[in-house]
């Protein structure tokens, strides 16, 4: 049968497709119908060296497939029987030792590794000296590895096999046999390495032998053996969780470093790259190497990163260096010279730029050849800053960069200038000091007019980043008038790539500039953009349309003057490219721009064009044979959302036509990764893929994959429907059932929790629509269906290995659904059941936290890895929110049945001796009780309120903010009078201290606390004026001077609404004697008008107030306003008059 099989394999390898298909079927049938003889024939073909190497290689590949999926019912392995299993294992070890062709031998080693990884299952805490299920494997491999006479490739492959199984077993004989060929020994090492994850326990149990093997092989004359040994060493260290077991191998660090140096200088690129990949930093490896990093490892990695002949090897060395910091940032920050060394490498990479300016200028940014070293250097600077910032070590990085920046930003060398500007881009997010921000902006601003186009290009990129990270400063009234003329000039830059980067920067910058500052520049910008829009060049038109869309979105109705001229051009572009597959991005951007124009002109102005545009959008997405990542889909859904927001009820006739196509996207789901999926993915240009692991009902772990473009489609579709439901309200009732049915599959979407969370939010909005649309039966069905599907998930929130993020999403979903559903939807039994589930889940979560804390107790670097703690705390808060939702609409049932269960928990957790995370939960509980149970909870105040009041001056903002919020809620109750005077005095200090702080990103939490404290002061003044009469004027003064609110939008809406009412009522403490305080009050109201800090009704009231005051009084007020506020005041007056 071997000859027949060899002929079949030869045909499979052939170029004749028809012959190959017949041969593949013949082999497949033989494997299915006669598995034993087929496997025997594969072994025979492999063992006959006279056969062509290609045929033998194919036999090894097919043999590995036969040895795969052992546990699946009907697998080839399961059909062979116990006797054949033993024969297969023995033949594999004979083949790996006897094979002389390196490529064939490595493929055989891969069969050994794959089979071993599936067979071997050693308990985590067990330390067996050999592998019971395959006792011959490790002795054979180790003998090969230690046999110096063996071929180096064989020894390396043996080492590789052990390494790859070090997560499962043991292999000892070939490796130690010095008489064996070095290739054979290397292959044996490779085999051991590849099995490391399944058999590291055996390596530990044979510690002395393992030490001897590694020491010998790390110093072997054959570089292939050293390479496999180095990989095995790294793999083993990563798998040893016990510090004492790791430390036993520290004597080998010097041997490893010498091997690394030798492999880098004399080994092949593939060999050094494989070692560097194995060296990627983990918690275990950083802890293991930390005392020898500065002296032994870092200098060698630095040499490779800066001097190796191969660029990708240099990048890998840099990747190893940054991976150490990402694994243990606090540890690495203490390593002498680490920060300086990695930054030095990054700076070198940043200056590896193409000198051919013409070639650079001829390329578009999107399609330009990547300058890989520059990109790597840029990304590593950002990654270093991110992880060090998380560990509160960013100032150390900044101190090392300041001298570099000072030199490079004054350099005449364009490459140094670009490197310096790029560093500013990468560190901008983490810089907190306003002085440094000012220096960075000034430096970048100067470079926008530099002579060299690459410097200008880099400067625009940096400005875009600064616009994202420090928008308040770069778009301020003092800086924006300096930058906007540069944007205007940038549109005429002689280099197209610089123009593109300028326009892209404006997309970020323009969205943050206040309307009154931007408006004077709109007309000159539009004059230039109009020319570009009609250029006929697709790329230019795309950029121009996006630029126009930003202007339209920012200046809103004042952009309406351009509608008549622009809309015909946009409709012309849409019709011209509607059927052109290569112009899909331009088409999508045109739809986006149209929707923003619609928003600018309003429903009445857009109505005449609405039907044509909506028909075009429907036609565009129904065009057949479009790519799965077709950009039109995203733009269409976002444009539909915007048009719905603009037209409100007038949008309803379009819903039946576009909703079915959007709901179809809800069916997008990940697929299990198997052979068919791989083939489909290989042939589909879907861009990036996302993967996740899930455990099936049978206990088997499956890999699910989904293209990022499909995930984005799903998210965009849900967001679009969410907007329809929210904006149309009860008018959406006819589509509720259809939408709910389509949403159900997304409940099980496990690839991205933010998508599932959005689906739950949308379901909550459907409940709200049913309630407001007087559909009690539909509402009940929606709620009960949701609870039936999601509540049982909380019952699974026990033990370890659970998906905390998914559980949090499900808890958030229950909260959203119950809040939207309204009163009378739950029975007392349901309320108690859900409440108990949440309390039990929180209790189990706390126990998991305690177990993890105990594990880290002996590790002084444990704080480097606190994500699990954060996840547990977030889940506990989500459960707390569910209990708050139970209170919200079922107050009497809650008080009667579940309050006695909650109060002892609140009383316990609120105590100062409890951890901060627990006290935060207690205050959240208190806030919900004060808000929803109101006077029903007054009798329980002594158990928690005094401590909550004391916490408004807690050192932690995470405690202060909810404490101030709780006080604002309690102050509405007449019983709070006893606390009013003392509390209000403390609140004044909280506010004045916060507002006196420097303007830093790091101070934003303190300002959010102050915003909540202002709400508490206002509630005390409104409900307890007699009690605080002696300091009433002082309280109002502090309150007014601290406005507007700065961070907390909800508190801003409350306080600014109160301010409007006080001014309307002409309250003396607010308006002042003779209206002395009116400029201050109007300044606040003008600033918050039509912002996120004001309700729509508040903005409407501000307009009415402005008209009521009269032009004469406004002119007097305007004299004390900033220029920007004067312009906005005129707009408020104009809009209010139009509205009336």
Report whether pLDDT(779) > 90. Answer: yes
pLDDT reported for residue 172: 37
Q: Using H for helix, E for strand and C for coil, what is the string for 1086-1133?
A: HHHCCCCCCCHHHHHHHHHHHHHHCHHHHHHHHCCCCHHHHHHHHHHH
pLDDT, residue 335, reads 94
Give the lowest-confidence range in 425-439, 529-543, 925-939. 529-543
Length of the chain measured in residues: 1140
Nearest CA to 469 out of 500, 424, 504 is that of 424
Q: Which residue in this structure is represented by tokens 């009497």?
A: 892
What's the confidence (pLDDT) of residue 851? 82
The phi and psi torsions of 200 (rounded to 5 degrees) equal -60, -25
Condensed to tens digits (0 to 9), the pLDDT of residues 219-243 reads 988 898 899 889 889 988 887 888 8
- Do the Cβ atoms of 401 and 377 come closer than 8 Å? no
Which residues have CB under 8 Å from 446's CB, separation 6+?
none
Stretch 978-1003: mean pLDDT, rounded? 94
Alpha-carbon distance of 937 to 895, in angstroms, equals 8
Q: What's the pLDDT band for 877 if we cut at 50, 70, 90?
A: very high
To which residue do tokens 């043996």 refer?
Answer: 158
Say if residues 281 and 324 touch (Cβ distance below 8 Å).
yes
Q: With 0-12 CB in 10 A as exposed, 13-18 as middle and 19+ as buried, what is 92? A: buried
Q: Say whether pLDDT at 168 is over 50.
A: no
How far is the C-alpha of 350 from the C-alpha of 371, rounded, in Å?
Answer: 9
Tell me how far apart the alpha carbons of residues 148 and 175 are, in angstroms, rounded to a whole number. Answer: 8
DSSP 260-310: HHHHHHHS-HHHHHHHHHHT---HHHHHHHGGGIIIIIHHHHHHHHHH-S-
- Residue-wise pLDDT for 789-818, tens only, equals 999 888 876 655 678 899 999 999 999 999
Nearest in space to 150 (alpha carbons), one of 128, 127, 105, 183: 183
> How do residues 634-688 score in pLDDT, each as one tens digit?
889 999 999 999 999 999 999 999 999 899 999 988 887 766 666 666 555 555 7
Distance separating alpha carbons of residues 335 and 2, to the nearest angstrom: 60
62-66, 364-368, 387-391, 403-407: least confident range: 364-368
Q: How confident is the model at residue 1097 (pLDDT cuts 50, 70, 90)?
A: very high
Of 1107, 1040, 1127, nearest to 1076 by C-alpha is 1040
Residues 6+ away with beta carbon under 8 Å from 467: 474, 475, 505, 508, 509, 512
Per-residue confidence band for 203, with pLDDT thresholds at 50, 70 and 90: low
| Range of lowest pLDDT (361-365, 698-702, 931-935) | 698-702
* Mean per-residue pLDDT of the chain: 88
Q: Which of 271, 340, 281 is nearest to 310 (CA)?
A: 271
The two three-digit tokens of residue 829, written as one number: 């039994």
**Beta-sheet pairing, 689-695 with 196-198:** unpaired
pLDDT score of 205: 64
pLDDT attached to residue 76: 87
pLDDT > 80? residue 190: no
- How confident is the model at residue 643, as a pLDDT? 94
Q: Of all residues in the chain, what percent carry a pLDDT higher than 90?
A: 59
Which residue's entry shows tokens 């020994």? 185
Give pLDDT, residue 864. 57
Q: Of 879, 966, 868, nearest to 926 (Cα)?
A: 966
- Judge contact between 193 and 159, C-beta under 8 A: yes
Cβ–Cβ < 8 Å for 479, 516 = no
* Residue 929 DSSP class: I
Per-residue confidence (pLDDT) for residue 780, from 0 to 100: 95
Res 162: pLDDT: 63
pLDDT tens-place string over residues 352-378: 999 999 889 888 877 778 899 999 999
SS3 letters for 927-992? HHHHHHHHHHHHHHHHHCHHHHHHHHHCCCHHHHHHHHHHHHHHCCCHHHHHHHHHHHHHHHHHHH
Closest to 346 measured CA to CA, from 308, 319, 386, 313: 319
Q: Binning pLDDT at 50, 70 and 90, where does residue 1001 land?
A: confident
Cα 1096 from chain centroid (whole Å): 32
- Note the pLDDT of residue 687: 58
Q: How many CB atoms are closer than 10 A to CB 845?
A: 22
pLDDT at 174: 41
pLDDT band at 169 (very low <50, low <70, confident <90, very high): very low
pLDDT score for 833 = 94
Q: Which residue has the higher pLDDT, 323 or 176?
A: 323
Confidence of residue 556 (pLDDT cuts 50, 70, 90): confident
pLDDT more than 70, % of the chain: 90
The pLDDT tens digits of the residues spanning 817-864 come to: 999 999 999 999 999 999 999 999 999 999 888 888 877 765 544 445
pTM of this prediction exceeds 0.85: no
Average pLDDT of span 931-940: 96
The answer on pLDDT for 772 being more than 70 is yes
Instruction: Name the residue among 731, 817, 834 with its Cα closest to residue 781.
Output: 817
Supply the pLDDT for residue 351: 95
The reported pLDDT for the residue numbered 450 is: 95
How far is 471 from 464, CA to CA, in rounded Å? 10
Mean per-residue pLDDT, 203-210:
69
């Amino acid at each position: 049968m071997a000859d027949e099989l060899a002929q079949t394999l030869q045909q499979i390898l052939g170029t004749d497709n028809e012959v190959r298909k017949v041969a593949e079927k013949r082999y497949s049938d033989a494997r299915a119908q006669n598995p034993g003889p087929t496997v025997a024939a594969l072994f025979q073909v492999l063992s006959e060296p006279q056969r062509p190497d290609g045929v033998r290689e194919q036999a090894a590949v097919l043999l590995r497939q036969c040895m795969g999926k052992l546990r699946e019912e009907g697998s080839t392995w399961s059909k062979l029987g116990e006797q054949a299993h033993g024969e297969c294992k023995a033949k594999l070890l004979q083949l790996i030792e006897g094979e002389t062709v390196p490529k064939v031998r490595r493929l055989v080693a891969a069969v050994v590794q794959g089979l071993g990884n599936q067979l071997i299952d050693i308990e985590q805490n067990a330390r067996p000296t050999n592998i019971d299920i395959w006792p011959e494997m490790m002795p054979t491999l180790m003998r090969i590895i230690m046999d110096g006479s063996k071929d180096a490739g064989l020894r390396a492959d043996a080492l590789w096999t052990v390494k790859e199984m070090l997560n499962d077993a043991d292999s000892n004989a070939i490796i130690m046999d010095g008489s064996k060929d070095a290739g054979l020994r290397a292959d044996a090492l490779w085999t051991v390495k590849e099995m490391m994850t399944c058999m590291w326990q055996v390596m530990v149990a044979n510690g002395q032998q393992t030490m001897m093997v590694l020491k010998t092989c790390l110093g072997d004359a054959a570089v292939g053996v050293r390479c496999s040994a180095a990989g095995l060493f790294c793999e083993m260290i990563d798998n040893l969780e016990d510090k004492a077991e790791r430390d036993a191998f520290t004597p080998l660090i010097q041997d490893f470093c010498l091997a690394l140096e030798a492999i880098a200088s004399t080994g092949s690129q593939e060999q050094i790259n494989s070692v560097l990949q194995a060296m990627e930093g983990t918690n275990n490896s950083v802890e293991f190497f930390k005392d020898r990093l500065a002296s032994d490892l870092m200098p060698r990695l630095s040499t490779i990163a800066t001097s190796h002949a191969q660029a990708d090897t240099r990048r890998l060395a840099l990747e190893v260096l940054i991976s150490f910091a990402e694994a243990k940032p606090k540890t690495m920050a203490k390593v002498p010279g680490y920060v300086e060394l990695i930054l030095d490498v990054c700076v070198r990479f940043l200056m590896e730029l193409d000198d051919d300016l013409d070639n650079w200028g001829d390329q578009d940014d999107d399609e330009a050849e990547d300058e890989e070293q520059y990109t790597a250097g840029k990304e590593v600077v950002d990654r270093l800053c991110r992880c060090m910032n998380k560990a509160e070590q960013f100032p150390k990085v900044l101190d090392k960069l300041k001298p570099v920046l000072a030199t490079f930003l004054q350099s005449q060398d364009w490459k140094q200038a670009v490197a310096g500007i790029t560093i500013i881009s990468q560190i901008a997010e983490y810089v907190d000091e306003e002085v440094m921000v000012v220096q960075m902006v000034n430096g970048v601003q100067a470079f926008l007019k530099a002579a060299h186009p690459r410097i200008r290009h880099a400067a625009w990129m940096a400005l875009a980043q600064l616009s994202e990270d420090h928008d308040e400063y770069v778009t301020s009234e003092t800086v924006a008038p300096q930058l906007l003329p540069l944007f205007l000039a940038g549109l005429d830059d002689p280099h197209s790539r610089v123009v593109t980067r300028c326009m892209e920067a404006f997309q970020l910058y323009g969205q943050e500039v206040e309307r009154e500052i931007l408006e004077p520049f709109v007309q000159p910008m539009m004059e230039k953009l109009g020319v570009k829009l009609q250029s006929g060049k697709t790329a230019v038109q795309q950029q121009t349309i996006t630029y126009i869309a930003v202007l339209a979105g920012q200046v809103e109705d004042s952009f309406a003057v351009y509608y008549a001229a622009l809309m015909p051009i946009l409709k012309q572009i849409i019709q011209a490219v509607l059927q052109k597959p290569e112009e899909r991005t331009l088409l999508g951007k045109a739809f986006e721009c149209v929707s923003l124009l619609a928003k600018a002109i309003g429903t009445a102005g857009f109505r005449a064009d609405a039907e044509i545009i909506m028909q075009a959008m429907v036609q565009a997405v129904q065009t057949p044979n479009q790519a799965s990542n077709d950009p039109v889909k995203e733009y269409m859904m976002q444009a539909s959302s915007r048009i719905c927001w603009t037209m409100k009820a007038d949008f309803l006739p379009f819903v039946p036509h576009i909703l079915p196509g959007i709901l179809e996207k809800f069916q997008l789901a990940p697929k299990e990764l198997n052979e068919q999926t791989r083939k489909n993915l290989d042939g589909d240009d879907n861009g990036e893929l996302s993967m996740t692991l899930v455990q099936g009902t049978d206990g088997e772990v499956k890999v699910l994959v989904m293209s990022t473009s499909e995930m984005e489609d799903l998210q965009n579709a849900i967001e679009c429907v969410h907007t329809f439901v929210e904006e149309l309200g009860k008018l959406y009732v006819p589509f509720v059932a259809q939408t709910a049915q389509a949403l159900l599959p997304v409940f099980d979407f496990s690839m991205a929790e933010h998508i599932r969370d959005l689906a739950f939010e949308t379901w909550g909005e459907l409940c709200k629509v049913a309630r407001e649309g007087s559909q009690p039966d539909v509402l009940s069905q929606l709620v009960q269906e949701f609870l039936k599907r999601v509540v049982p998930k909380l019952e699974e929130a026990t033990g370890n290995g659970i998906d905390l993020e998914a559980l949090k999403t499900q808890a958030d979903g229950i909260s959203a659904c119950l809040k939207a559903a309204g009163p009378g939807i739950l029975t007392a039994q349901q309320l108690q059941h859900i409440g108990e589930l949440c309390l039990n889940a929180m209790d189990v979560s706390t126990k998991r936290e305690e177990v993890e804390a105990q594990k880290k107790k002996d590790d002084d670097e444990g704080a480097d890895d606190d994500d699990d703690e954060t996840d547990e705390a977030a889940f506990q808060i989500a459960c707390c929110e569910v209990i708050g939702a139970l209170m919200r609409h079922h107050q009497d049932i809650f008080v009667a049945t579940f309050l006695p269960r909650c109060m002892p928990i609140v009383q316990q957790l609120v105590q100062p001796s409890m951890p901060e995370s627990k006290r935060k939960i207690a205050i959240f509980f208190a806030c919900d009780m004060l808000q929803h149970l109101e006077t029903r909870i007054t009798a329980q105040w002594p158990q928690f309120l005094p401590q909550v009041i004391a916490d408004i001056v807690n050192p932690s903002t995470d405690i202060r903010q909810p404490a101030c919020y709780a006080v604002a809620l309690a102050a509405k109750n007449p019983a709070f009078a006893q606390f009013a005077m003392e509390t209000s005095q403390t609140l004044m200090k909280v506010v004045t201290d916060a507002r006196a702080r420097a303007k830093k990103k790091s101070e934003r939490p303190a300002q959010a606390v102050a915003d909540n404290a202002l709400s508490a002061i206002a509630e005390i003044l409104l409900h307890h004026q007699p009690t605080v009469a002696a300091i009433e004027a002082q309280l109002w003064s502090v309150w007014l001077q601290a406005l507007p609110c700065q961070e907390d939008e909800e508190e801003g809406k409350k306080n600014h609404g109160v301010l409007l009412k006080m001014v309307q009522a002409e309250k003396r403490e607010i308006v002042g004697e003779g209206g002395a305080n009116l400029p201050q009050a109007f300044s606040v109201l003008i600033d918050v008008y039509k912002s996120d800090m004001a309700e729509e009704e508040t903005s409407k009231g501000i307009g009415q107030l402005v008209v009521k005051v009269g032009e004469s009084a406004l002119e007097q007020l305007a004299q004390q306003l900033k220029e920007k506020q004067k312009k906005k005041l005129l707009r408020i007056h104009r809009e209010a008059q139009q509205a009336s």
